[in-house]
Structures are given as C-alpha cells and as structure tokens.
Amino acid sequence: MTNDTNSTPTLETTPIIATRGDRWKEMATRQETLLIAVYVIMVLAFSLINPRYFSTASFGNILQDFAPVMLMAIGQTFVIITGGIDLSVGAVLGLSGVSAALAIRTTTESGMSPALSITIGIVAALLVGATVGVVNGLLITRVKLAPFIATLATMGICMGTTLVVTGGVQVAGAPKEVVLLGNTRYLEVFTVPLFVVLGVLIIAWLALSRTRFGRHTYAIGSNQFAARVAGINVDRHLMKVYVIGGVLAAIAGLFVYFRLGSGSPASGRGGELQAIAAAVIGGISLMGGVGRVTGTALGALITASVLSGLILIGIEPNAQQIVVGALIALAVAVQGLSRANSRT
C-alpha cells in the first residue's frame, strides 16, 4: 500500500510539469513574444548609436509616426487575412488629408467657427476613404479584378487627383485648433490621435477574435470556395473589408494633417509599403487566413521605430524605403520557413 500511494503523486504530477513546460515553450516561440524581443534589441542598438533615441521626446515622436501607420496596417490586416491586398491606402491617406485641408480652409475663410470647419473637414476625408473603399470592393467583387490590379488602379487615380486639386503644393490656412488637436501631448507622449488609434486597435482585436465578422474574415482567406458553400456572402463581406481599409486610411490622413497643420500632396507616399510591412512583420500571412491584429500592432511599432532610428543615425530618407522593403522580404521568408517546418 505504501509503494502504491507513493507512486501515485509521481504519475499525476509528471504530465502537469510537462504541460507547464510546453506552455512556456509555446509562449517563448509565439510571434508576439519574438517581436517584443526584436523590438527591445532594436531599441538598445539605436540607443547605443545615438543616446537621444532612448528619450521621452523620441518615444513621443515615434508614437506620432506610429499612429497613421497603425491605422493603415489595421485596414491592411483585414484585407490580407481575406487573401487580398490594398495598394491604395497611402494614396487615400494623401487625398483624404488634402480634402480635409481644402474643406477646412474654405469654411474657415467663409467665417465658420473652427469646430464646425474641422467637423466638415473630417466628414470630407471620411467620405473620400469610404468612396475609394467602395470602388475597390466593386472592382474586385463585380468586375472580378484581382485585388492587386484593382487597388493599383485606385492608387493611381487617388495620387493623380491629389496632384490636380493641389497643383502639387501644400494646402495651408488651417486654424490653430487643428495643430493643437494633433500635437497637444498628455504625459509627454500621448496625443488625441494616438488615443483614437488605441481605441480602433481594441475594436479591431475584438472584431477579429470575438465576432462572427472575424470568423468570416478568416474563413474567406482560408478557403473562399468553402466559405461560399458554408453560406457566407463573400462579396458583401469583401466590400465591408475594403471600405474599412479606406476609412481607416482616411483617418490616418486626417491625423497627418492635424500634425502638420497643412495638407501635403506628398503625404502617404510609400504608406502602402509601411502598412504591408507592419502586417507581414506582425505575422499576417500574405496567403490569407492567418494572423492577429496584436502582431500587426507590434509590426507597426517596429516599422515606425526603425524609420525614426534611421533618421537619428543619419540615414537619408530615400534609403529608408530599402530597409522597409528588406523587412518585408525577411518577414515573408521567415513565414515560408515556418510553414515548411510545420509540414515536416
């Protein structure tokens, strides 16, 4: 009896110890954990090269850069999970910011109050983003263009429209309330746009992980034919996803305008590359059906931090796009190796 009772705890506790070990191993190899480790190493490296990088002012600037990238990346996350791509988000950012700037300047000059002028500017920008999202959705679901081609076309249209309406020059004349709204800091690092981005991030996380909308998004990206057979209205869902992407890009354009106090036709140039980089670095598979928005958030933070660090160590702006492109290639290569290892 004594031997039996002594042996029982050993048999019961051994699986528990193994399970805990497996959990620690799983946590250590999760995408988010690896990204946090990469971020910490990157911060240390840039701080050693330039100590100013590790400062409150620098972190505040990084977060301001992070806000528009995060918004575009969240929209890109929804799109890529469905198996698509949206190349128009950078151009939508620029056109939306310029549209808001023109609306606010015109209404301010006509004697409207700053609050009403800013409201009209916000509505104008959101309408631009929603319209482009609808056009993208129709081209993909009705005309049956590939997402790459459809959004490439709208990217060109938006960029051309921005240059035409601005004449290639910045749209100034914003009331001081615009700059205050975009640049007033709380606790030295947080701004109103950043609070909005964090709210959007929470909503996106809940939508993807806790709702039927999220389950349908993953299902379409995993197997569109099976999703149709299961009764999902794929075309309608894709319309919603591309509209979400367009609206979030428009909000990003608003935030860039609020920060600068003017609408620049160059705003958003290369934004689609940064958004895709943030999503892919965060573990969103370009094959569709895989990824978490929390990974995208870390990917956006890494992307913004890398660009800020390159500026502080004296890398010219044109070379920064090379680094972003290299990050995308590296992230896709890592995803490919992970899939290959999972099959073996």
DSSP state of 165: H
Residues 249-278 have pLDDT tens digits of: 999 999 999 999 999 998 888 899 889 989
Give the pLDDT band (50/70/90) at residue 334. low
Share above pLDDT 90 across residues of the chain, in percent, rounded to a whole number: 57
Going from N- to C-terminal start, the domains of the chain cover 72-269
Contact 81, 283 (CB under 8 A): no
The tokens for 297 are 């958030």
Given a cut of 50, is residue 11 above it in pLDDT?
no
Closest by CA to 296, choosing from 82, 35, 95, 19, is 35
Given a cut of 90, is residue 12 above it in pLDDT?
no
Q: Which residues contact 75 (CB under 8 A, 6 or more apart)?
A: 86, 89, 244, 245, 246, 247, 248, 249, 275
Q: What is the mean pLDDT of the chain?
A: 87
Given a cut of 80, is residue 39 above it in pLDDT?
yes
Residues 101-155 have pLDDT tens digits of: 999 999 999 989 999 999 999 999 999 999 999 999 999 999 999 999 999 999 9
Report pLDDT for 330: 74
Q: pTM for the complete prediction? A: 0.87
